[in-house]
Amino acid sequence: DNGVFIKQVLRQGVLQEASGPSIATEYGLLLPSVHGAKGTGLSVTGIVSQRAEAVSLHLNAALAWTREHEPDLFLGAILEGPYSWAVRPVAEMFGEQASGGPRTTSSLVGVIWRVRDGLSFDVGIRKAHDGNETVRELRLGLTWTFI
């Protein structure tokens, strides 16, 4: 899905080399899809992250106003391999349901490549069930951090 999002750190924690969990928000505009929904929407997400030497865990909860102008709830978890690795494995599971729509459950496996501090690329294969439909996707991403 297409969108433009801004992530903001509310509490500096382990992801910012401080102690305790990191807490952030992500908010943005849902843009029309290339071969799908034509409208625009909004999304606000709360994120709590914790990291140990071997694993990072991110818990996400989002409220959205969909491209079809319906309320939507999203709950998800992301598990990453050791942050010290330049290329680390990642897995994601989530559930989502828009008002009056089918429930979506999804799982993803992939890798994150940290090119340098502030620049990472990711690739993943996702399989989801959206009501009675099965969805398979190849996902590509870019994370660019600036202050």
Q: What pLDDT is recorded for position 137?
A: 95
Alpha-carbon dihedral 115, 119, 125, 128, rounded to 10 degrees:
160
Pairing of strands 103-116, 87-98: antiparallel
Predicted model pTM: 0.85
Averaged over 55-79, what is the pLDDT? Answer: 96
43-52 pLDDT, tens digit per residue, is 999 999 999 9
Mark residue 112 as left, alpha or beta (left: phi above 0; alpha: psi -120 to 50; beta: remaining).
beta
